């Protein structure tokens, strides 16, 4: 019974760690991941010492906040409003039109 969780942990937790190494390498597509030079924290140092670092972090946090603000309550409110519709035919058509793109 323990085999399935162990396999899933290896697949979803440990295998992706090899891809994280690309942040610490000077990646060249011609050399591949293992042939690229190891540079350590150089890219992180360049990011945090850049003059636009604070603005980039602020923009990222604001985009995440606005995404959460609009992406969470609006669908819940819409679902509650659709649940209150009395005409079943209109309700089904509206649900199909709204949910079909997803």
53 versus 22: the higher-pLDDT residue is 53
When the pLDDT of each residue in the chain is averaged and rounded to a whole number, the result is 89
What is the total count of domains within the chain? 2
38: its two tokens: 């190891």
Distance, in Å, from the CA atom of 37 to the CA atom of 82, rounded to the nearest integer, reads 56
Distance CA 75, CA 72 (A): 6
Domain shared by 1 and 37, yes or no: yes
Examine the domain organization and report whether 60 and 45 are in the same domain.
no
For 55-90, what is each residue's pLDDT tens digit?
A: 999 999 999 999 998 888 988 898 898 888 888 898
**Residue 50 three-state SS:** coil
* Residue-level pLDDT at 25: 87
Same-domain status, 6 and 35: yes
SS3 87: coil
Name the residue range of residue 20's domain: 1-49
pLDDT score of 60: 96
pLDDT in tens, 14-26: 888 888 888 888 8
């Amino acid at each position: 019974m323990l085999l399935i969780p162990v396999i899933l942990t290896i697949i979803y937790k440990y295998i992706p760690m090899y891809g994280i190494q690309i942040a610490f390498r000077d990646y060249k597509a011609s050399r591949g991941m293992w042939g690229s030079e190891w540079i350590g924290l150089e890219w992180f140092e360049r990011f945090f010492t850049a003059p636009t670092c604070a603005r980039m972090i602020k923009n990222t946090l604001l985009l995440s906040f606005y995404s959460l603000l609009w992406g969470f309550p609006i669908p819940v409110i819409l679902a509650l409003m659709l649940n209150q519709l009395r005409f079943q035919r209109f309700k089904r058509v509206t649900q199909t039109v709204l949910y079909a793109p997803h």
